[in-house]
Structures are given as structure tokens and as C-alpha cells.
Amino acid sequence: MAKTSSKTAVNKKISKELLRRVKKTLKHVYAPYSGISVSAALYCSSGNIYTGCNVENSSYSLTMCAERVALFKAVSEGEKDFLLLLLHSPDIDSILPCGACLQVYSELASEIVITTVNAKDEFRFYPIKTLLAQPFRLKK
């Protein structure tokens, strides 16, 4: 039980740094269609943090969510072990990833904990398997 408590304490400490970064990243959002700003910070086992923001397009299917931007930046830099993702939106309290983002994360970061924060800067932690219990998988 002490192991879980110390892990939660570490997650909270890391989450505070991630929150600082996501708030800074909000200035880069491009959301003229939805009007909803979202930013994300991804913490890797290497200690590196990658941020992302939503980038919309008039062809909605070409829009990129903040959490996928952060993940793809990390993967493109050689990261392979992802521990914690923090999502933040000043427009939606405690925002969670969409289904497409959950599917991508389930493949590339199947053990990640997704963190969301409300307007009072209170954190909630969700293992990805609680948000997407049955991800799509190709048979190998």
C-alpha cells in the first residue's frame, strides 16, 4: 500500500510541473472552429516532457488533438516509455481524451496514466485501461 501512496505523491509532484507547462503551451493553440483550447504535457521515463496543443483545420478530420501532438513529438524524438499525460483546457473542466487519442495511446503507451485538472487545479488520475477497456488490436 505504501508503494501506491508514494506513486501518487510522485504523480502529483510531476503533475504540478506538467500543469505549469500546459498553461504556457495554451498560447500556441489554433482553434478557430471549436473555440476550445486544449494543451497536453507528456512525461516520459527518461524525464523528458513533451507538450502539445490542439491544431484545428476546416476539414475536421485533419485536426490534431493536443495529446496526439505531444505523443508524436515524443515518438519522433525516440521516446518509447510514457508514464503520465496531463490534459488541460480553460474551456472544459477536467477534459479527457477523445476516442481517437485513447486508441493511439493504447497502442503506443498502453500503461500510461492520464491526468486531468479542473478549474481549481485539482488533479484526477486515470489509468488508460479505465478509459478504453477494449482497444482495437490487429492480430499478429
Task: Give residue limits of the domains in the chain.
Answer: 2-131
Q: pLDDT digit of tens for each residue in the chain (140 aa)?
A: 344 555 666 677 888 899 999 999 999 999 999 999 999 999 999 999 999 999 999 999 999 999 999 999 999 999 999 999 999 999 999 999 999 999 999 999 999 999 999 989 899 999 999 999 988 888 77
- Residue among 67, 107, 111, 122 flagged as catalytic: 67
H or E stretch at 42 = strand 39-44
Which residues are within 8 A (CB) of 1 and not within 5 positions of it... i.e. 6 or more apart? none
Q: Do residues 112 and 128 make contact, with C-beta atoms less than 8 angstroms apart?
A: yes
Q: Is the pTM of this model over 0.75?
A: yes
Q: Is 67 a catalytic residue?
A: yes
Quick one: pLDDT at residue 6?
57
Which residues are within 8 A (CB) of 93 and not within 5 positions of it... i.e. 6 or more apart? 118, 119
Which overall architecture, per CATH, does domain 2-131 show?
3-Layer(aba) Sandwich (3.40)
Q: Would the CA dihedral through 65, 69, 72, 78 be positive or negative?
A: negative
Quick one: pLDDT at residue 19?
93
Residue 107: which of 73, 71, 77, 78 has the closest Cα? 71
Quick one: pLDDT at residue 5?
57
